[in-house]
Amino acid sequence: MRILVISLLRLGDVLIASPALHGLRRKYPSAKIDLLVNQNFISLKSILPDVDELIPFDRDGLQDGLAEASCPLFESLDYLDEIINKLKSNQYDLVVNFTQNKLSGYLTSLIGAKEQIGLSLSANGQPSYSSSWFRYLNDYFAADIADRFHFTDIFYLGSGLPTGTNKFVFNESPVGKAEALNFFSSVGYASGPKVVVQALTSDIKKTLSRSKWVDALTQFQSFESDAHIFLLGAPNEAAELSLLQQELKDKGVRSDLAILSLDGALALLNVSDLLITGDTSIKHLASGTPISIFEIAIGSSDYKKTGVYKPGSLILKSNEPCSPCQHSAACHRESHLCASQIPSELIALAASKFLHHDWLALQVLAEEYSDCANLLKTEWAKFGLWMARHLTDRGTQREISDQLSRLAWKFLLEKEHLKPLAAYGSESLKLKEAFESDWHPDNQLRIKMSLEHIELTTLSSETRINKILSAISSKIKLFGSFDGVDFIDSELVKEIIKVESDLGLGKILSEKFNPKSASDFYQIRQLQNSLNDVFSHQQIKLKLIRSLRSQITENA
């Protein structure tokens, strides 16, 4: 069997798919698995044990031909033909597209495998997904909905892989090991905790200022005087990191520059104790090592989608309402507030407590600094989803409702609710177990009341959505056609917006129609489909709530 996985975005996006690659390898142990990546990631082969061949996508070659006015258009077309014909000649049985953009959609469809998972586009731009998870990624993710899943989970579950085997797996190469050994001997490391700091990211909005790093690491060193700080970076970051190193030295903080390749970075992470990082590919690489990971999520970093996946990791997130901001837009505030408002002493204290896995102290810190930042602990729940739980919000009504909501989406997307013996009981039991440590026997009454309240609000939403669906169906039956008829009157618009607001759906429903003009057949059908999805979601959530309540009552 031959499988092609397409991952044509950034390095972090390739690494974040590692559990799905590992899962595919476990499901198809004798298959040849190829990975199509951008040309400059071709040497990832040494660290990806589940991939047999990395195939380069020559994006530069194609773009150079297109950008030159003197170059005939058909040269690029011919080159693209070559690339596609070469891929087609491999006669893939399965193509899995983790890129989820139009370019990859057309490419997936042109390669023409027997089976395709992920976005595939026809010539007129019609999408197909072959997976509810990838359709969800397309339809819901771009909107700012509350129920967001980690990309790792979406890639994993969307590939049809069984719950429970999603972990990051990377190979430490001999070259990388040698690089790390050379590094340690050159810096004269003897003993003490090894703390790796990835101070720079590829996006200025996600990067703390140099002065913030200097303050934070100076304070950290005062708490952890025997710790060794290694400033990790790529060769093109050496100059910037040298400046940071000099400023630390001026403050009496010793640090060493660790300018390493990806292989060398992996080897360093494998033997170190703590990584402090922004939203970087190094963070995802570290998830496949024993190192403790402390992520500082600012700017456009959306921890719900791309947070550090490894369970037991720590995420520090700004409380600024604009965070996370839009990925490619410049910061719209007068200064980089989401970064500057995080006190450097919080970074230092959190890193110190986390180095010693003192979660009680971290909880105290979280409460003390809750006005400016959140501290979250990552977990992987038995019901098959990654979670990042606020240290100050554990076991609250909001948290229970959020997790029920996500579990209900999982049910819907995996069509579990359509099975004759849908696993409401066992899945709600897993949810109960996930929260059990926070649900003391004394809290039973509070939890029951929370569940009652969640049930009431869910019922109310379900009723509202049912009314909207009935109103639209009645109009269709009455008028019989869509010409010139205003199916979505102002009352319905209000109801739809209320549903979006109550359920944190962004503009998922209201973007399907234009409130200022009559909607056409396609728009109404799109709206009905989305409403049906949301309605089913609320119904599933109700069943999970009732199942959970009965389990708590049984154990009372």
Residues of this chain that interact with other proteins (CB under 8 A) are 8-12, 38, 40-44, 59, 62-63, 66-69, 73, 76-77, 80-81, 84, 101-103, 106-107, 109-110, 121-125, 175, 200-202, 233-237, 261-263, 265, 280-282, 328
Residue 72 CB coordination number (10 Å)? 10
Least distance to other proteins, CB of residue 72, Å: 10
Q: Which amino acid is present at 319?
A: N
Supply the minimum distance, in Å, between the C-beta of residue 217 and other proteins. 19
Within 7-126, strands assigned E span 32-38, 53-57, 94-97, 115-117, 120-121
CA distance linking residue 423 with residue 431, whole number of Å: 12
Extract the runs of DSSP E, i.e. beta strands, from 223-273.
228-233, 255-259
Closer CB to other proteins, residue 131 or residue 280?
280
Residue 64 vs 520, nearer CB to other proteins:
64
Residue 400 beta carbon to other proteins: minimum distance, rounded to whole angstroms: 37
For other proteins, the closer CB: 106 or 141: 106
Distance between CA atoms of residues 278 and 308, nearest Å = 10
Residue for token pair 């229970």: 400
Give me the numbers of helices (H) and strands (E) for the chain, helices first please.
21, 15
- How far is residue 207's CA from residue 197's CA, in Å, rounded to a whole number? 12
Tokens 């199942």, located at residue: 547
Identify any residues that bridge with 33 across adjacent strands, giving them in sequence order.
3
> For residue 253, what are the CA distances in angstroms to 215, 225, 249?
10, 9, 5
Rounded to the nearest whole angstrom, what is the least distance from the CB of residue 363 to other proteins in the complex? 33
Nearer to other proteins, 76 or 428 (CB): 76
Say which DSSP state 380 is in: E
Residue 88: CB minimum distance to other proteins, A? 10
Tell the smallest beta-carbon distance from residue 499 to other proteins (Å).
Answer: 32
Q: Least separation, in Å, of the C-beta of 439 and other proteins? A: 42
CB of 263 to other proteins, least distance (A): 7
Least distance between other proteins and beta carbon 300 (Å): 13
Cβ-based nearer residue to other proteins, 101 or 551: 101
* Residue 230 CB, nearest approach to other proteins (Å): 15
Nearer to other proteins by Cβ, of 12 and 23: the residue is 12
Across 266-350, where does the E strand assignment appear? 274-277, 292-297, 314-318
CA distance 344 to 521: 56
Comparing CB distances to other proteins, the nearer of 67 and 190 is 67
- The single residue listed with the structure tokens 């110190």 is 352
Tokens of 49: 């044990």
Q: Three-state DSSP class for 299? A: coil
Residue 188 neighbours by CB under 8 Å, 6+ apart: none
Between 44 and 499, name the residue whose CB sits nearer to other proteins.
Answer: 44
CA–CA separation, 543 vs 435, rounded Å?
18
Torsional sign, CA 286, 228, 263, 58: positive
Name the minimum Å distance from CB 47 to other proteins: 9
Q: Return the structure tokens found at 421.
A: 């013996």
CB atoms within 10 A of CB 424: 19
Q: How far is the CB of 308 from other proteins (least distance, A)?
A: 16
Cβ-based nearer residue to other proteins, 87 or 400: 87
What's the rounded Cα separation, in Å, for the pair 167 and 529?
34
CA end-to-end distance (rounded Å), the chain: 52
Query: In the complex with other proteins, which residue's Cβ is closer, 158 or 233?
Result: 233
Q: Which residues pair with 390 in a beta bridge?
A: 376
User: How far apart are the C-alpha atoms of 186 and 180, rounded to whole Å?
Assistant: 10
Task: Work out how close the CB of 69 gets to other proteins at its nearest, in angstroms, rounded to a whole number.
Answer: 6
Nearest distance in Å: CB 100, other proteins? 12
Task: Report how far apart, in Å, the C-alpha atoms of 433 and of each of 147, 163, 276 are.
Answer: 21, 16, 30
When the beta carbons of 11 and 197 are compared against other proteins, the nearer one is 11
Give 74 or 522: the residue with its C-beta nearer to other proteins.
74
Q: How many Cβ atoms are within 10 Å of 520's Cβ, its own excluded?
A: 14
| Side-chain-side CA neighbours of residue 105 (13 Å) | 18
Strand pairing partners for 2?
32
| Beta carbon nearer to other proteins, 108 or 130 | 108
What φ, ψ does residue 90 adopt, rounded to 5°?
-75, -10
Nearer to other proteins, 101 or 163 (CB): 101
